[in-house]
Every structure is written in structure tokens, then in C-alpha cells.
Structure 1
Amino acid sequence: MIEVRNTSKSYGRTIVVDDVSITLPAGGVISLIGPNGAGKSTLLSIISRLLPMTAGTVTVDGMDVTTTPGDVLARRLSILRQDNQILARLTVRDLIAFGRYPHSKGRLTVEDRGHIERVIDYLDLGAVAHRFLDELSGGQRQRAFIAMVLCQDTEYILLDEPLNNLDVKHAVAMMALFRRTADAFGKTVILVLHDINFASCYSDRIVAMRDGRIAYEGPPEAIITTDVIRDVYGVEAAIHEIDGQRIALYFR
């Protein structure tokens, strides 16, 4: 369980996350949605300790993220950021192997190599595993970074806009993979998404943010409504139910 209590983040007089308190239960898929500038990515970065908070506390299974040793936290929680920089000429397999660093400290064991190969198979990256990252398409590179995070094998997997650079086919496959990862392996997958229909179809819970605060939280049927979408995004939407899934169609 991740507990966020009275957490804020500001830059000078600009408040980006404003006194947020929320409990994110273990297990399942949780999507953070909201307009640009709502504070979604900042909140995810605070939870993962990528950004220091201005006020408040965050705990992961009772461990305070500000005081827990990095290697301990990294075996419990992993994150994929939006802006992944390629700082060296790495192959896909080399990148994925970095996910094992919290476990092996760079000295890969037989168990580590098994994790690497399983993740390569899981994301269907075998055909490009030997290729350098700068030789790949944006979508292939994004899948490689996601593979690295999955290879870390943590209880909590945080993904900031993981569908960036993916076409519709691969975006659907990736969301299905996140759903399968949560269900088959008991993981907690927390996503920042812009597509609320993906959030609706694949999430157990949706957290809607606006102006740095939690505006709404609940199961998809409570969040994917005309009134909530109007309030959070300022647009009108018609909601249709297809095969038990709530789908929003925007018309202004």
C-alpha cells in the first residue's frame, strides 16, 4: 500500500501538487488522469523519490520514501519516466539488464539472466534484443524501457505516460500486458495516462487530478461520467457502454 499524506510540491510561489492525501491499495491497475499541468507526473515522481516534496509524507508498505535506503526502495518500487535519456550506446538487452541492478549490483547471476530473457520474451523483443537503442523506432525503444522496469521485478510499477510513441496496436498490447502483469503476478501498476478510454477499460481504480489536487477517485464506472469529465477537462462527452466498458466520446 502506498500512502500519500498532506503532500505538496511547489517551485517558488507556483504550487504543482497541493496538499494531496490518498491511499493507493496494493494489487491491480491504477490510472492517474487529468489535463496537462494537473500534477499527475509530479505526484508520481514524488512517490518514487525522483522529486523531493515540499511538505508531507509518502510511505510504501510502511517505508518512508525520504529515509529508506535507495537500494531497499528500488527492490520494492520501480518507475519509468517520460523523458528517458539514452546516455550511452546500449543494446536492448544491455538496457533491460539495468533493471536487475538493485538485486545484483551489476554482477548478473543466473537468476538475473533468467529474468532478462523472460522479459525479452514477454514483450516480444527477441528480434531486436541485439540492436542498439539508437537504431530503433520510438515505439520499440519505449517497449525496451518498459522491459527494463519490468525486469526490476518490484511489487509496485510506476509508469509515466508509457504509451508515448506507441501506435494503436502496440498501445492496446501494452495495456493488456500491464493488466496481465497485475493479475498474473500480483503487481501494483500505477500509470499516468492521457487516454481516459484506456484508463476506463484496463484499470481497477482511476484517480482524476486537477490543479494539483485529487478531484475524483474510484472505479471506472464512478469516474467515466459526463459530469466528471466536464468538471475535470472542461469538455462535453457522451458515455457509451460497450461490452461492459465505459467509453467516452468527446464533442466539444
Structure 2
Amino acid sequence: MTQQTPAVLVRGVRKQYSDEVAIGPLDLSIPGGGITALVGPNGAGKSTLLTMMGRLLGMDDGTIEVAGFDVARTKSKDLAKVVSVLRQENHFVTRLTVRQLVGFGRFPHSRGRLTTADEEIVSRAIDFLELGELEGRYLDELSGGQRQRAYVAMVLAQDTEVVLLDEPLNNLDMKHSVQMMKHLHRAAEVLGRTIVIVLHDINFAGHYADRICAMKNGTVIEFGTPAEIMTDEVLSRVFDTEVRVIEGPAGPLAVYY
């Protein structure tokens, strides 16, 4: 039986910021499909790893392959067709409508000249995130949750196998965080995307992710299913505080004080 190529393969990756601060060496193999959540305390290296996966940050050593492409050697126009990235900082100085923003996701394919096929993909992404009634509205007229959905629609419109999301729940309240995770879970399941996401809330990771990568001090210390990671021992060790995992109505819940 032929072994499937990982969607993301990280081998010996290291990023040195100073004599005291470094990330790695990191080794990680993320299978295709589903949601993989990167969790861990502040400064663990989650966002750094994610941005290196998307080649928004260079690495000092090692290699990263996404969908079989070496991110350090692949041409940007080719890499943009297999991996899309949404960072925390989404600041567009130009006033844009939702549809115009989502249309930017087609740039790697259309180079700015949207075809009929591109417009159809944009419409599907807008409908998938339930933004149809808002597509003509400007971003500065939207709530934080609506605006975040528009950015996610943009990366889905890029139509890549791998989607990298850096804390997409940032600044969202509980209701909109739940809605966002449901949209992402559906994107992984229905659209067949491999989603790698940085999350701060371990319970969102435990409920919605297919795999959890726990990081600490710039290294990967645990990688497995939610059932394997959501234990008292593992979470207490990862977060350096006492964590108790209880069985909630929809699965395990981490409780900490």
C-alpha cells in the first residue's frame, strides 16, 4: 500500500531570533484533510511555525514541504496555488466591499483579471461563509465577526489544498467563535481542505480539531488526536498549570483556574 504524502512536512526547522530566543528544531508531519490545531502557551512558537509554513517568514535551517512543494524553493506564483495564509493582522487601507476582498483570493490564478469561472468561485466562497447579503457592503461597515468571515472567504476562494489560519478567533466573542469553527469544520469536511490553525482556546481545539499539535518553548512536545492530547497530564505539562479534563456533554473539556 502506497503511503500518502503528508499535506505539511516539517523537518529540522529552526529559527534563531537571539542567543536566548529560538524556535526548533521542529519536526512535524500533518496528514491531508481535516483541521490540525496548533496550541500552547504564549511564546511557544505557534504563529512562527505557521508563518514559516506559508513562507511569510524565512527559516534558518531545515525544510518545509506543503502539498509536496518545498516552500523555500517553489516560485511564489506556484506556491500560492497550493497554500493560502490568513495572518492576524488584516489591515486594508483601501475601502473594499466584501466581494472585492474575496476576489483578491483569485489573484494567483487570474493575476487580477477575474474570469467568469473566477467570479463563480468567489460567489461560492461568499455563499459558503453565508455572506451573500453582505457582499456589497464595505468592510468598515461590518461587525468584527462578519469581517473575519470575509477574510476566511478570501482564503477559501484562493482554492488551495492547504489553508493556514493564525488565530482567526482573535477578537471574536463566544457566539462568533463557535460559528467560525463550524464554518472551518465544514470547509475541511465538504471542500476537502487541510486546515492548520493557531488556537488559544484548548477547548475549541479539543472539540473541532481532528489533530492537535501542542508546542512549548519553541518545540513540538505532543501531536495526536484530541483524545490523546486532552488529558490532565498532557495539558498540565504543556501549559505549566494544573488542568483537569472532564467529560462534557459534547466531549472532553479542560478546566483550569
TM range (shorter): over 0.9
Q: 2:96 aligns with which of 90, 100, 116?
A: 90
Cross-structure match for 1:110: 116
Q: What residue identity is the alignment partner of 1:188?
A: T
Q: What residue identity is the alignment partner of 2:198?
A: V
Q: 1:145 aligns with which of 151, 158, 173?
A: 151
Cross-structure match for 2:236: 230
SS at match of 1:207: strand
Q: What residue identity is the alignment partner of 1:64?
A: D
Q: 2:169 aligns with which of 163, 170, 181?
A: 163
Cross-structure match for 2:201: 195
Cross-structure match for 1:46: 52
The 2-side partners of 1:107 and 1:209 are apart by 41
- The percent of aligned pairs where both chains have the same amino acid is 50
Q: What residue identity is the alignment partner of 1:172?
A: V
The 8 Å contact of residues 163 and 196 in structure 2, kept in 1 or not, is answered as yes
CA RMSD, Structure 1 to Structure 2 (Å):
1.2
SS at match of 1:130: coil
The 8 Å contact of residues 67 and 162 in structure 2, kept in 1 or not, is answered as no
Cross-structure match for 1:212: 218
Please show how residues 174-189 of structure 1 align to structure 2 within 5 Å. 174-189=180-195
Q: What residue identity is the alignment partner of 1:56?
A: G
The Cα shift of 1:91 comes to 1.1
The 8 Å contact of residues 67 and 161 in structure 2, kept in 1 or not, is answered as no
The Cα shift of 1:243 comes to 4.3
Q: What residue identity is the alignment partner of 1:126?
A: G
Cross-structure match for 1:172: 178
The 2-side partners of 1:192 and 1:16 are apart by 19
- Does the alignment pair 1:58 with 2:64? yes
Structure 1 segments unaligned to the other structure (5+ residues): none
TM-score, normalized by length of structure 2? Answer: 0.94
Give every structure 1 segment of 4 or more consecutive aligned residues whose post-TM-superposition deviation is greater than 3 Å.
none
Cross-structure match for 1:33: 39
SS at match of 1:107: coil
Say if 1:170 and 1:244 are closer, same or farther in 2 by CA, change over 3 A.
closer
The 2-side partners of 1:244 and 1:96 are apart by 33
The Cα shift of 1:14 comes to 4.0
SS at match of 1:162: coil
The 8 Å contact of residues 16 and 42 in structure 1, kept in 2 or not, is answered as no
State which drifts further: 5-14 or 182-191. Answer: 5-14
The 2-side partners of 1:177 and 1:8 are apart by 33
The count of residues paired between Structure 1 and Structure 2 equals: 251
The Cα shift of 1:137 comes to 2.2
